[in-house]
Structure 1
């Protein structure tokens, strides 16, 4: 009891906490997080709860990154500011004002991507080179 631990939970990310007590086969810990982090966790859990009701069942696991603001380079040297709503090893959902056409190549931060879908708020992109499992986590910077 009292030990600091970091747990990684599939589909949710990394959690920092303090062990409250042990139990057979594991332990109970209290999450150590500020209000913003707790809000992101709650949003992710809510998204996961509603996943069964959505037609959009993408194959790759999604996370909500810590660094969500990103610059998008469009064709013709134009740039735009975007907001990452979720991220997977193979792509991202972005909120932006002007939506490029489906099939257009863009640069999301430093990653080359192709616009694969339009959403109500922006676009979905597929990365040309997916993240590797060792470099993909909620702290990744695009």
Structure 2
């Protein structure tokens, strides 16, 4: 479980939050609200001074938030506003930690921009039953074949012509098309699956 919320000695101001350039870097993670409940999350954009999270449970402006993000580790700060997808928060850090944070973000942003191989932190499994139903934004349903699944996404084949960026549900799991390849698509889940669910008997 994430460590308990603590009130740090300093906090980032709204002015500081705007000093930093926001980068479109997608990272999976988990966060904890003051009620000590944990939830999965995904970054929409991030800077050394703040982050916009897609999150199932929204923090209220002024609430403290602790999050753990892939590649970056623990961050904490204060919710500054809610959004349609989740909420935006400041990131409280020392100057030294912020410099390290900036270097990590720059590397991650360049990796995505250059199309370098993804860091597959999660193992992929082939489901015993590959058949699944895709539901598009207009609620139309289409049969697809799941190629493999990880905690963060799935690869599937379909006769549909789906552009990158298409939102959909794979079974009941919300996802987004992030890549096309010969014979199918790669989709990233809006929120990562629980590790104890990932086995060959999983039906999305």
Q: TM-score if structure 2 supplies the norm length?
A: 0.41
1:1-142 alignment to 2 at 5 Å?
Answer: 58-59=119-120, 60-142=122-204
For structure 2, list consecutive stretches of 5 or more residues without a partner in the other structure: 1-115
TM-superposed deviation, 1:107: 0.4
Q: 1:83 to 1:58 in 2, by over 3 A?
A: farther
TM-superposed deviation, 1:75: 2.2
Structure 2 SS opposite 1:126: strand
TM-superposed deviation, 1:103: 0.9
Q: 1:89 to 1:75 in 2, by over 3 A?
A: same
Match of 2:71 in 1: none
RCO comparison, higher one (Cα < 8 Å, 6+): 1
TM-superposed deviation, 1:109: 0.2
Return structure 1 stretches of 4+ with deviation > 3 angstroms. Answer: 55-58
Match of 1:44 in 2: none
User: What is the rounded CA distance, in whole Å, between the counterparts of 1:57 and 1:66 in structure 2?
Assistant: 25
Number of aligned residue pairs: 88
Structure 1 SS opposite 2:192: coil
User: What is the rounded CA distance, in whole Å, between the counterparts of 1:73 and 1:114 in structure 2?
Assistant: 12
